[in-house]
Structure 1
Amino acid sequence: MARVSSKHSDSVFYGYSNINITVLLWALLSQIWPQPVTCRSTLEFLPGFHGRLPFQLQTGYVGVGESSEVEVFYYFIESENNPQEDPLLIWFSGGPGCTSFVGLASEIGPIAFVDQEYNGSLPSLVLRPQSWTKAASIIFPDLPVGAGFSYAKTEAANQSGDWVVAHHAYQFLRKWLMDHPEYLSHKVYVCGDSYAGIHIPAFVQEISYGNENGVQPLINIQGYILGNPITTRLEVNYQITFAHGMGLISDELHESLQKNCKAQYANMDPKNLLCLRDFQLFQELTAEIDHAMILEPAFCGYDNLRVLSPRNSLMKRSLTQKVKANNFPSKCRRLGYTQETYWANNDHVRKALHVRKGTVGCWKRCNSDINYKYGINSSFYIHANLSAKGYRSLIYSGDHDMVCPFSATQAWIRSLNYSVVDDWRPWHVNGQVAGYTRTYSNHMTFATMKGAGHTAPEFKPDECLAMLKRWISNEPL
């Protein structure tokens, strides 16, 4: 499906332009490397999309684990620009347990669902002009096991966790590259957002260790990109100041929270009744706001009801009644998520995607029922290790996200104590301020996305594509 380049600036076959050399070396090395457990299909049509797909789409499975007991489903979309030279991205959604289709259909892929309420028919798909495939080829694997269409063959293999995801992702990428040798010399960047901020650095670190130990095939890893990433698991400590700065809570409540909780909300003392009282009031005041995008209402569903304390059942009942009474806008962004669910659970869609029958029951956008072990308390030190090895990183934050506020991300980056190369300044797209950025000496760039929420490309697709193109080209934002 993919075309092989005869010229790669970082090619392991540097100095040779004859593609037969690549094919010959691959044939020889394949006798040494274990054969990958893969299955793939090329798609020309998708249910819900009118006409032939104007891009190259592949779906398939890659077996990972000790005996390939986990089958990782993936989508692969070839670059629409220059697939012979453009980098290879691998994208992970958050959760943990969200399918990579979240990133494909809602954020950075070439297709999107039509913005309309679900009417019972198969949801319609249209092209997204700001797809990141305008600058790169992208793999979207469903990890951890239980996310999307990935599945386990045994009950024991149905268990996952932070380190398991990193290990499975490494196995997946190695086997995928062995099955797609034309991409062996391409620059590789690992990307994702939200909870992926925990296991992506671990995954990149595993690639690095594998390369250092000569594990074949060597992966041409260059760096990683993270959006609004969970990093220290202490991000909630910055929600209060963020909410105060955005005018969501009063000066008096902010001062009381700072005093009674001592700015520590992640691990509150259950005996500190004053702190618990103040934090409960904060939750109630922000319960009708989408924490992932504070300019939007929470009541496109029941997403934010879970933030309320179980003790405040009266408040929760009141908010639930408002949802059922349709006192809030019926057409909002989160309602569009339901179209993904209806689409992916359609039999014709599954057949078109070549999903194996009987392996996955009800497809969920984010599967909260997976058996998952939280093994990485903080990815902070992994960032430091990767920077010391020279890997590039781009960390961006939608500045209207209260789940993982930009101030929380700024705080851990500041704690790395890197010297500043290019100090805080605005960056522009189409002559307008797209956000603010700062570049550090250890190959790290931080950027805010003005007016974006937790999944920035969903809100600011033009700006995010411009950011990607500049960064992978080693240009200033």
Structure 2
Amino acid sequence: MMRYYYCRIVVVFFFFIWIKDLFGRAEASPVEFLPGFDGPLPFHLETGYIGVDEGENVELFYYFVRSSSSSNGNDDPLILWLVGGPGCSGLSALLYEIGPLFIDKGEDEGLPKLSLNPYAWTKLTNIIFLDLPVGTGFSYAKTLNAAHSTGSQSCHQAYQFLRKWLIDHPEFASNPFYIGGSSYTGMTVPFIARLISDGNEAGVEPRINIKGYVLGNGATFPDEGNYKIPFAHGMGLISDELYESLMQTCEGNYVNVDSSNHPCLDNLDTFHQLVDDLSGEQILDPTCERIDSRSSRNGHRVLYNEERICTKKCYTYRHQYVPIWANNPSVQEALHIREGSIVGLWERCNRSLPYTNGTWDSTPIHAYLSTKGYRSLIYSGDHDMVMPFLSTQAWIRSLNYSIMDEWRQWLVRGQIAGYTRTYANNMTFATVKGGAHVAPESNPEECFAMFERWISYKPL
């Protein structure tokens, strides 16, 4: 009898070990087929969840694409890529920025079609596209408290995610590692890079072989909005007279204007009348109309005001197809999305995140990282008025680094693709000529060439 109870105890013990193992470890699943793409995927795609934060109450969802430059991709760099917002899904980067696929309109208003991106950065590197912070894309919280996060907290969660991912993928533990992103991630990417660097020095395991980071049109300091008006003037969007009047009446502060400063406010009204019909992300584009519907899970059309309908004249025209594709039940099944993890409809950019942004200046973190010898590629689409290249140049200039390679052209197919300068702190700055807020989306060929040269330690 005692033997019987002992066996029962052993069975129950291992049952709970199994349950803990099932829900406490990463859940990774290969994806061989995707709705909208003809045939099996010609690259390795894996999706999964990794539990982070206290009690693993936050489940971060990721897409991992193995490099296609070699048979196994194990020798190529590994990149953790974040999308801005905050609250925009990594699926954006996967489907129309640097990932292996392009999304486009399907036939007869059906499911959008997928095709191969000839300028995918996954031809050169292994990339993890992460839905961060919690509540972004398919990432979710198990408790109400865990659904709330801050900028600092989400950075710590990203660091924890990465360590757990590498434990589950030990074959990539020694690969050169980079972290990258665009837009809002100019605040978070340097922060996470510092967490990794400090963790390595403190002996945190697994050690991450970090080599540097990549940022495109990144937010960096609170006063960046003050560079929009000098940018607009330089681009010929406003007159000399209005610019001079703005400088005199606003004294260089165009963001936090005192309500009693009526001359400044009047000039700002004139400024907005002149530029508000342009897309801030690409001044060559018109402002896109708001989309008023999309497909729900049951196929009906529902009111939707987050995305924008754009014709092919707008570089962001692909944005409208992502929610239609991602909300299709067959797509979510193919991506191995957990049933019930998403309340309501999936959104490409969750604008109602319970997220405390925080206001910080990441310039000192760039300075700190440079003392550790890390490489950085900082690029700017030069037609972006949201995060103008002027503001990026301003914070780089404030670091007072010696210039190693003076301002010059960089070429693609014999044509000027932009301008570049390198600094003594292993930083490369580059503009992308005609580029938008997300330059790899508007100028994929040029950005692929830029990244290929930089990741290979070659001059642009």
> Is TM > 0.5 for Structure 1 vs Structure 2?
yes
Q: What is the match of residue 462 of structure 1?
A: 445
Distance 2:365 2:312 in 1: 43
Distance 2:361 2:291 in 1: 29
> CA offsets per residue over residues 269-325 of structure 1, 9 Å max, x none?
22211111111211121111000000001023289xxxxxxxxxxxxxxxxxxxx9x
Distance 1:135 1:368 in 2: 33
For 1:47-86, list aligned pairs within 5 A.
47-82=35-70, 83-86=73-76
> CA offsets per residue over residues 76-122 of structure 1, 9 Å max, x none?
000010312110011000001111111111210010112x4884311
> What's the secondary structure of 1:395's corresponding residue?
strand
User: Is the aligned partner of 1:237 residue 2:226?
Assistant: yes
Instruction: Describe the shift of the 1:117–1:405 C-alpha distance in structure 2 as closer, same or farther (beyond 3 A).
Output: farther
Distance 1:117 1:229 in 2: 33
Equivalent position to 1:340, from 318, 322, 326:
322
What letter is aligned with 1:342? Answer: I
**Structure 1 residue 438: Cα displacement:** 0.4
Distance 2:107 2:288 in 1: 17
> What's the secondary structure of 1:178's corresponding residue?
helix
What letter is aligned with 2:29? Answer: S
Deviates more, 1:145-154 or 1:241-250: 241-250
**Structure 1 residue 376: Cα displacement:** 4.1
User: Is the aligned partner of 1:407 residue 2:390?
Assistant: yes
User: Is the aligned partner of 1:222 residue 2:195?
Assistant: no
Equivalent position to 2:253, from 255, 258, 264:
264
> What's the secondary structure of 1:234's corresponding residue?
helix
**Structure 1 residue 258: Cα displacement:** 0.6
> What's the secondary structure of 1:108's corresponding residue?
coil
Q: What is the match of residue 419 of structure 1?
A: 402
Q: Is the 8 A contact 1:43 1:352 kept in 2?
A: yes
**Structure 1 residue 37: Cα displacement:** 2.2
Equivalent position to 1:291, from 280, 285, 297:
280
For 1:46-445, list aligned pairs within 5 A.
46-82=34-70, 83-114=73-104, 116=105, 119-301=108-290, 332-360=314-342, 361-445=344-428
**Structure 1 residue 245: Cα displacement:** 1.2
Distance 2:339 2:311 in 1: 38
> What's the secondary structure of 1:458's corresponding residue?
helix
What letter is aligned with 1:64? Answer: V
Distance 1:117 1:332 in 2: 18
For 1:26-37, list aligned pairs within 5 A.
37=25
> What's the secondary structure of 1:145's corresponding residue?
coil
Q: Is the 8 A contact 2:24 2:56 kept in 1?
A: no
Count residues with an aligned counterpart.
420
Structure 2 runs not aligned, ≥5 long = 1-22, 293-307
Distance 2:35 2:368 in 1: 45
Q: Is the 8 A contact 1:238 1:408 kept in 2?
A: yes
> What's the secondary structure of 2:188's corresponding residue?
helix
Instruction: Describe the shift of the 1:453–1:64 C-alpha distance in structure 2 as closer, same or farther (beyond 3 A).
Output: same
**Structure 1 residue 335: Cα displacement:** 3.7
Q: Is the 8 A contact 1:146 1:370 kept in 2?
A: yes
Q: Is the 8 A contact 1:300 1:335 kept in 2?
A: no
What letter is aligned with 1:339? Answer: Y
**Structure 1 residue 233: Cα displacement:** 2.3
Distance 1:248 1:302 in 2: 27
> What's the secondary structure of 1:54's corresponding residue?
coil
Distance 2:130 2:96 in 1: 15
Q: Is the 8 A contact 1:146 1:152 kept in 2?
A: yes
Distance 1:119 1:285 in 2: 38
> CA offsets per residue over residues 312-362 of structure 1, 9 Å max, x none?
xxxxxxxxxxxx9x9x96864434211100000000100000000111131
> What's the secondary structure of 2:449's corresponding residue?
helix
> CA offsets per residue over residues 415-438 of structure 1, 9 Å max, x none?
000000001000111111110000
> What's the secondary structure of 1:438's corresponding residue?
strand
Q: What TM-score results when the alignment is normalised by the length of structure 2?
A: 0.89
User: Is the aligned partner of 1:45 residue 2:27?
Assistant: no
Q: Is the 8 A contact 1:300 1:332 kept in 2?
A: no
Deviates more, 1:51-60 or 1:240-249: 240-249
Instruction: Describe the shift of the 1:334–1:300 C-alpha distance in structure 2 as closer, same or farther (beyond 3 A).
Output: farther
Distance 1:233 1:145 in 2: 24
What letter is aligned with 1:191? Answer: G
Instruction: Describe the shift of the 1:435–1:134 C-alpha distance in structure 2 as closer, same or farther (beyond 3 A).
Output: same
**Structure 1 residue 406: Cα displacement:** 0.4
> What's the secondary structure of 2:394's corresponding residue?
helix
Identity of aligned residues (%): 53
Distance 1:378 1:394 in 2: 18
What letter is aligned with 1:352? Answer: A
> What's the secondary structure of 2:59's corresponding residue?
strand
Give the RMSD, CA atoms, in angstroms. 1.8
Distance 1:150 1:184 in 2: 24
**Structure 1 residue 203: Cα displacement:** 0.4
What letter is aligned with 1:146? Answer: G
**Structure 1 residue 474: Cα displacement:** 1.0
Q: What is the match of residue 313 of structure 1?
A: none
Distance 2:115 2:50 in 1: 28
What letter is aligned with 1:202? Answer: F
> CA offsets per residue over residues 171-216 of structure 1, 9 Å max, x none?
0000000000000000000010000000110000000111010000
Distance 1:80 1:345 in 2: 28
> CA offsets per residue over residues 7-38 of structure 1, 9 Å max, x none?
xxxxxxxxxxxxxxxxxxxxxxxxxxxx9720
Q: What is the match of residue 10 of structure 2?
A: none
